[in-house]
Structure 1
Amino acid sequence: MTNTHWDPDQYGLFGDERRRPAIDLIARLPKPAQGFNPTNIVDLGCGPGTVTSLLVDAFATNGNEPVITGIDHSAEMLEKARAHDDRIIWQQSDIAAWEPEAPIDLLFSNAALQWVPGHANLLPRLCGFVKPGGLIALQVPNNFLAPSHQLISEAGEKWEKEVAAAQDQLKIMRPGDYFDVLTPHCSNVDLWQTQYCHVLRGEDPVFNWVFATALRPVLANLPDDDARAAFCAHYKTRLKHVYPARPDGITLFPFNRLFIVASKR
């Protein structure tokens, strides 16, 4: 069985591109200078901690010193996070079962909740941890209908059941469904979608991007190393047709993301 643990170094190959949506989400939030002074901030699915550090930079200003906690289930990611920033409390926990010790002013999650099933029940549960007037801010990939993800099924057609079961782990709802789930608990539900056009370099960059995230459960579900090698060879070939490198060596990779900011009633 292939190693299913997260690899912080592989994930970090495109650090600037992966951080960009988080930067945009944080930019949308009110800051201490605007009267929003959170004292308890949680980053759900903090990964290697680089985004959590951005939350410190955004909100630990003007005398405001919030307690900021990064939550992740991956020991490898948290080891990287602890070495990265000692201003933050790092905790290992599964988001689906996690509960905070105190009510939260800002519940933040960047590209993590797509790994947690049952958003229709998860979001109301998370809302219950937020103080009235507090904020929920989240971003999830919305690229599952793009060729980069659809080609996973094509490359894995010999192992249809295994690949389908792995892909079933990654799911989000439609934007309107999030609105319906959140409005009983939140006011000012703000939803938007952005398509980024990432400028990637290097050999097989789209493969390397997906390898660090969506391919993890797929490769883990394949029966042996020969199957994984055959799958990867087919997948790389198809990706190169759909996302060809330009003469200058750059590969353009469009990627859609869904953003939500909501205020707890």
Structure 2
Amino acid sequence: MIELADQDWNPGAYYRFRGLRLRPALDLLRAVGPLPEGSVIDLGCGGGAVGPALGQLRRHLVGVDTSPAMLSQARLTGGYDELLEQDLAEWSSSAPVAMIFSNAALHWVASHETLLPRLAALLAPGGVLAVQFPHQNNAPSHRLWRSLVDELFPGRIDPAQGPKVLLPAEYHRLLAPLGKVTLWETEYYQELAPDGEGHPVRRFTEGTYARPILNKLDSDEQAQLIRTYESVIGKAYPKGPNGTVLFPFRRLFFTLSV
């Protein structure tokens, strides 16, 4: 059962697949070229997994996140010069920054049509906005959580809530007037090992995409939803002889240089 004692993020549940979640962040960072002077902002820094890599840029490194639990974890890394507990949609800077780096965070923030131009305006000349989103909402791993909760508990989940991701062409149209845009998608074929506590895809998704859904339910309802998800997810993602599951996961990336 997922740990849902409160509404905050659970670092243990999130970092159960830490290596698989870190790889896209490193791929995004490798796509970033030279930067101007200024701070680097890890917007949605979570537990600070990307902090050591960002620290190699030798800039003043600021982590921003809404989760006290995740920020406590980030603080333990010792990699950040500042850590701020703040709504990602409201964060700003009084001085131009060299890079705003956001890995698997901004899909939880609404109104990208206004958010992204506002972030771009905070960059120094030559600065970079580098962003990665999970682009998995229509895959069975994610779609089943919503379809099952709608079936079992009609009206409990607002369809407008949840991750917000535009189409790639919409991001290009939004960002191209602001600078040089590089936009791409990668589908990672992830091998998820069994841990004896449930289907690996359920374990992967319950701490991220399914978290706000499960947080709307009481413990008995959570258990019912998880049992139902477990009963069908294996048809979309069958286990191999040793219990390992091959899990395709699509992610959308872009960099904007101003």
* TM-score band, normalised by shorter chain: over 0.9
Provide the TM-score with structure 2 as the length reference: 0.92
**How many percent identity over aligned positions?**
36
Q: Distance in 1 between matches of 2:117 and 2:192?
A: 37
- Contact kept, 8 Å, 2:52 with 2:79, in 1: the verdict is no
Shift of 1:37: 4.9
Shift of 1:152: 1.0
Alignment match, 2:222: 228
Alignment match, 2:200: 205
Q: Distance in 2 between matches of 1:237 and 1:263?
A: 46
What secondary structure does 1:221 align onto?
coil
State the superposition RMSD in angstroms.
1.6
What aligned pairs does 1:98-247 form with structure 2 within 5 A after superposition? 98-156=91-149, 157-163=151-157, 165=158, 168-186=161-179, 188-202=180-194, 203=196, 204-222=199-217, 224-247=218-241
Shift of 1:11: 0.4
- Contact kept, 8 Å, 1:153 with 1:160, in 2: the verdict is no
Q: Distance in 1 between matches of 2:154 and 2:126?
A: 46
Q: Deviations over 1:121-165 (max 9, x none)?
A: 1111111111121111000000000000111123211223223x1
Greater share of helix: 1
Shift of 1:2: 5.4
Q: Distance in 2 between matches of 1:226 and 1:50?
A: 33
In structure 2, relative to structure 1, the CA distance for the partners of 1:259 and 1:86 (3 Å cut) is closer
Q: Distance in 2 between matches of 1:251 and 1:138?
A: 28
What secondary structure does 1:161 align onto?
coil
- Say yes or no: does 1:6 pair with 2:1: no
Shift of 1:201: 0.6
Shift of 1:87: 4.2
* Mean Cα deviation higher: 11-20 or 45-54: 45-54
Alignment match, 2:31: 28
State how many pairs are aligned: 251
What is the letter of the counterpart of residue 214 of structure 2?
Answer: L
In structure 2, relative to structure 1, the CA distance for the partners of 1:25 and 1:86 (3 Å cut) is closer
Shift of 1:3: 2.0
- Say yes or no: does 1:249 pair with 2:243: yes
Point out where structure 2 has 5 or more consecutive residues left out of the alignment: none
- Say yes or no: does 1:19 pair with 2:22: yes
Shift of 1:101: 3.0
In structure 2, relative to structure 1, the CA distance for the partners of 1:213 and 1:166 (3 Å cut) is farther
Alignment match, 2:254: 260
Shift of 1:97: 1.0
* Mean Cα deviation higher: 151-160 or 226-235: 151-160
Match of 2:87 among 94, 99, 124: 94
Alignment match, 1:50: 49
Point out where structure 1 has 5 or more consecutive residues left out of the alignment: 61-65
What is the letter of the counterpart of residue 155 of structure 2?
Answer: K
Q: Deviations over 1:40-61 (max 9, x none)?
A: 100100000011221112x12x
Alignment match, 1:63: none
What is the letter of the counterpart of residue 244 of structure 1?
Answer: P
- Contact kept, 8 Å, 1:44 with 1:109, in 2: the verdict is yes
